[in-house]
């Protein structure tokens, strides 16, 4: 039978060979604490490209040393990082994968030594450090850091960029009233809390004209937090700014009890897709080909972001293809007869 999961998808000027995305997952493996790729990273990502993942997205990569979640995070704050990423991009493309990278700043969820920053001086939880409230100058410097990070990603050859505005990291901290208590133009109203993301998208578009995605947490899971309805309105604003696809996750802004079950976030992707009229990616306990096929066939999302299942099985696309009765191409090395 024909398969939606293994049909190509074109986003702007880039065609992905199937709808399977390796979701960005931090590996905390830059052992020298300098943000550089290690041998592990090449094996980790290239094996999934060999496994026929359509779009490989490199994990959250920090725009400043201060913006790392951990000292083992990858970084893109220096031109010295470009060569390592260019090498990875070239190798991923050899196996037919489209390449992307998630550009990020941890804000108050950074666990590095030294000062950390956020929208407001509110710690994530009782065990976390209290961040410093960012000054306007620091906000402007951070916007420039995102722009510079995207420029470096472009120079490395990445085909798609994703901005990380989810999971309680810096941009998300500005978006939500739970973590943003500012009294200036970056706090208070919905429009003001969106301002940092607006400025980052605007700056990034000055150096990037390829496909642009944004990952969001579509539900704060808190009575005073943001809801999927709020993110429909944000998605409309992002669409106006030229964002091509919303990668829809949820939670992690504040400690919360979340009921997790297969596909538990898919309804958020579906809602944003249809109410904001923008392409979306679905993520969250999507583990089988049939489950992914249902999401696509019922027009609930446009791409399937697979996370932990790809950690368990680097060849998950082949597993899904077998389940769906679809034949997919192998790397040419696997098809050689002797």
Burial class for 251, CB neighbours closer than 10 Å (0-12, 13-18, 19+): buried
Mean pLDDT of 78-88: 98
Q: What is the pTM of this model?
A: 0.97
pLDDT tens profile 254-289: 999 999 999 999 999 999 999 999 999 999 999 999
pLDDT tier, 310 (very low <50, low <70, confident <90, very high otherwise): very high
**pLDDT (0 to 100) of residue 32:** 81
pLDDT tier, 338 (very low <50, low <70, confident <90, very high otherwise): low
**pLDDT (0 to 100) of residue 141:** 98
Between residues 315 and 335, which one has the greater pLDDT?
315
Coil vs helix vs strand at 288: coil
Can you say whether residue 313 is alpha, beta or left, with left for phi > 0 and alpha for psi between -120 and 50 degrees? beta
Question: Which residues, including other chains, have CB under 8 Å from residue 74's CB and lie 6 or more apart?
Answer: 30, 35, 36, 37, 41, 58, 59, 60, 61, 62, 81
Q: Say if residue 33's pLDDT is above 60.
A: yes
**pLDDT (0 to 100) of residue 331:** 79
pLDDT tier, 247 (very low <50, low <70, confident <90, very high otherwise): very high
d(CA 323, CA 270): 24
pLDDT tens profile 282-299: 999 999 999 999 999 999
pLDDT tens profile 117-133: 999 999 999 999 999 99
Please give the CATH topology (third level) of the domain spanning 9-335.
TIM Barrel (3.20.20)
For the chain, give every domain's residue range. Answer: 9-335
């Amino acid at each position: 039978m024909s398969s939606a999961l293994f049909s190509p998808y074109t986003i702007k000027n880039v065609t992905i060979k199937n709808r399977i995305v390796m979701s960005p997952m931090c590996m905390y493996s830059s052992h020298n604490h300098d943000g550089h790729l290690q041998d592990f990273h090449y094996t980790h990502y290239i094996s999934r490209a060999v496994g026929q993942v359509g779009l490989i997205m490199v994990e959250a990569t920090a725009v400043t040393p201060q913006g790392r979640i951990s000292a083992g995070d990858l970084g893109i704050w220096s031109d010295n990082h470009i060569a390592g990423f260019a090498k990875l991009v070239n190798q991923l493309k050899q196996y037919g994968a489209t390449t992307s990278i998630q550009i990020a700043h941890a804000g108050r969820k950074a666990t590095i030594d030294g000062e950390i920053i956020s929208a407001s001086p509110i710690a994530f939880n009782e065990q976390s450090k209290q961040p410093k409230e960012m000054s306007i100058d620091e906000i402007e410097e951070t916007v420039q850091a995102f722009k510079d990070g995207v420029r470096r990603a472009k120079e490395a050859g990445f085909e798609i960029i994703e901005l990380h505005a989810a999971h309680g990291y810096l941009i998300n901290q500005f978006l939500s009233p739970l973590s943003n208590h500012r009294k200036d133009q970056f706090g208070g109203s919905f429009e003001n809390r969106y301002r940092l993301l607006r400025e980052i998208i605007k700056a990034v578009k000055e150096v990037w004209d390829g496909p642009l995605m944004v990952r969001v947490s579509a539900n704060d899971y808190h009575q005073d937090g943001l809801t999927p309805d709020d993110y429909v309105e944000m998605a409309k604003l992002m669409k106006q700014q030229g964002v091509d696809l919303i990668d829809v996750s949820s939670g992690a802004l504040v400690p919360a009890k979340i009921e997790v079950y297969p596909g538990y976030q898919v309804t958020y992707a579906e809602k944003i897709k249809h109410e904001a009229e923008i392409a979306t990616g679905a993520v969250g306990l999507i583990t089988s080909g049939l489950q992914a096929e249902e999401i696509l066939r019922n027009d609930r999302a446009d791409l399937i972001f697979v996370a932990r299942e790809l950690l368990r099985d680097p060849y998950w696309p082949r597993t899904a293809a077998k389940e769906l009765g679809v034949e997919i191409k192998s790397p040419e090395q696997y098809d050689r007869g002797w």
